[in-house]
Amino acid sequence: MAPAVLSDFVSWPGVATLAFSTVFYWLSNRSGQKAKELESVPHLNGLWELGKLLESSSSSSSSSSSSSGGKGARSSLASVSGRVCSETPLKCENVPDLGVIHRSITKEVFMKKNDKGEWKRDNSTVTDFTRETQWHLEDGGGKAKVHVKDGKGATGLQLKAVFIGFESEGSSAAGSDGSDISIAANLIKAGADFWQGVKKIGTEKSEGILPLGTTVTCVGEVSKQVSSSPASSWSGSTNDYVLQRPIRGPFYITTQTMPELIQSLSRSSKRWLYVGLGFTCLGSYLIGRKLFKAVMVEWRKKQFRDAIRKKREGGGEEEEEEEKTTEKTCVACMENKYDTVFTNCGHMCMCYACASKTNGKCPICREPSPYKRVYEA
């Protein structure tokens, strides 16, 4: 019988499953770390607390991240909540809504022929612009403003969809004035589309904004705004702060509250952990089962060989012949030469007469399998 090879013992799907589980553990760990990171960020009940926080962080200056500004610039990681405000809000193109971050996407919608010759609707993004104006957070107190810098890059930012529209291809075509030439041109174009397997049917436009007046929670590095322009000195009694992406650390803009955000991160961490554990169990089971079966197969092979050898010795046959005879003897009757293969597993160990009495189960691996007689030519 053929010697065992590595793949007889190792379940490769099992190994792959275990490898997948490490990816899920990594995801779980990452979400968990993000949640912990956010838990350590001080949350302010009002923007007026910022002054106090920055003073205390400059005196202790232990855990706070380094500021990008010059000497004397105090900064600290913080989480603040407030209403979105701006003196120069952005207008949407198709609706009257005002916002501070605006994203417009144009997609070409077309029908595409797949391999089976069916036409399926598909789309591709043609343009995707995000604009951001100068904006800040305010709370009811009116004593402080927090200017958010480059908020469009923040994690967790979800824009409100304010517009989605579709313009079909025919209505926008410039040359469709009904003249013979334009009809002919459109026919040629349609023909070309057809042969290419792609037919454009229209354009989809959508707009999303972070609307004025939305209450959001921002996490980032907060520092006192350095009044460099004369305009900011006019702001009088209000305190101006800047919130921006820290060099290292969390940068979030979310409509969730801080506890909600932390909870959702912990939840996703747990979810990934359970998925990872599930994959580990499945992988271990697959590997264990395959290994157990392979060991049993080897053990049965040995049992059969020993039984045949014993019988031969009892018969008092010559020693040189022994190896040859045990090697090709039917494991059931121990008389005939084996000539029947179980086609699922490939084990050849029985004569056809004995195999016919097995109910189609291979005696080595005990799995049901069709069997077939083989002839040496």
Q: Which residues are near Zn ion by CB under 5 A?
A: 330, 332-333, 336, 342, 345, 347, 351, 354, 362, 364-365
Of 272 and 338, nearer to Zn ion (C-beta) is 338
Residue 27 burial class via C-beta count within 10 angstroms: exposed 0-12, middle 13-18, buried 19 and up: middle
Taking a C-beta distance cutoff of 8 angstroms, is the pair 134, 235 a contact? no
Of 19 and 333, nearer to Zn ion (C-beta) is 333
Nearest-angstrom CA–CA distance, 277 and 338: 46
Q: How far from 73 is each of 55, 58, 68, 361, 373, CA to CA, in Å? A: 11, 9, 8, 81, 88
Beta carbons within 8 Å of 4's beta carbon, 6+ residues apart: 294, 298
Nearest-angstrom CA–CA distance, 74 and 64: 9
Of 241 and 342, nearer to Zn ion (C-beta) is 342
Give 94's DSSP letter.
Answer: S
- Smallest distance from Zn ion to CB 347, Å: 3
Here the tokens at position 75 are: 């900064």
The phi, psi pair for 228, rounded to 5°, reads: -100, -35
- Smallest distance from Zn ion to CB 295, Å: 14
- Smallest distance from Zn ion to CB 39, Å: 57
Of 147 and 366, nearer to Zn ion (C-beta) is 366
Antiparallel, parallel or unpaired: β 215-224 and 239-244: antiparallel
Here the tokens at position 161 are: 């969809």
- Smallest distance from Zn ion to CB 15, Å: 23
Cα 291 to chain centroid distance, Å, stands at 32
- Smallest distance from Zn ion to CB 289, Å: 16
Q: Which among 77, 237, 219, 208 has a CA at the least distance from the CA of 137?
A: 219
Of 253 and 330, nearer to Zn ion (C-beta) is 330
- Smallest distance from Zn ion to CB 330, Å: 3
Tracing tokens 């009811």 back to the chain, one arrives at 140
**3 state DSSP class of 260:** helix
- Smallest distance from Zn ion to CB 350, Å: 6
Helices (H) and strands (E) in the chain, counts: 9, 14
Of 216 and 330, nearer to Zn ion (C-beta) is 330
Of 131 and 337, nearer to Zn ion (C-beta) is 337
Of 127 and 356, nearer to Zn ion (C-beta) is 356
- For residue 79, how many other CB atoms are within 10 A of its CB? 22
Residue 192 burial class via C-beta count within 10 angstroms: exposed 0-12, middle 13-18, buried 19 and up: exposed
Q: Which among 334, 357, 347 has a CA at the least distance from the CA of 293?
A: 347
- Smallest distance from Zn ion to CB 294, Å: 11
Nearest-angstrom CA–CA distance, 214 and 82: 8
Instruction: Give, for 138, the enclosing helix (H) or strand (E).
Output: strand 135-138
- Smallest distance from Zn ion to CB 312, Å: 15
Nearest-angstrom CA–CA distance, 246 and 42: 15
Of 50 and 365, nearer to Zn ion (C-beta) is 365
- Smallest distance from Zn ion to CB 21, Å: 31
Of 194 and 292, nearer to Zn ion (C-beta) is 292
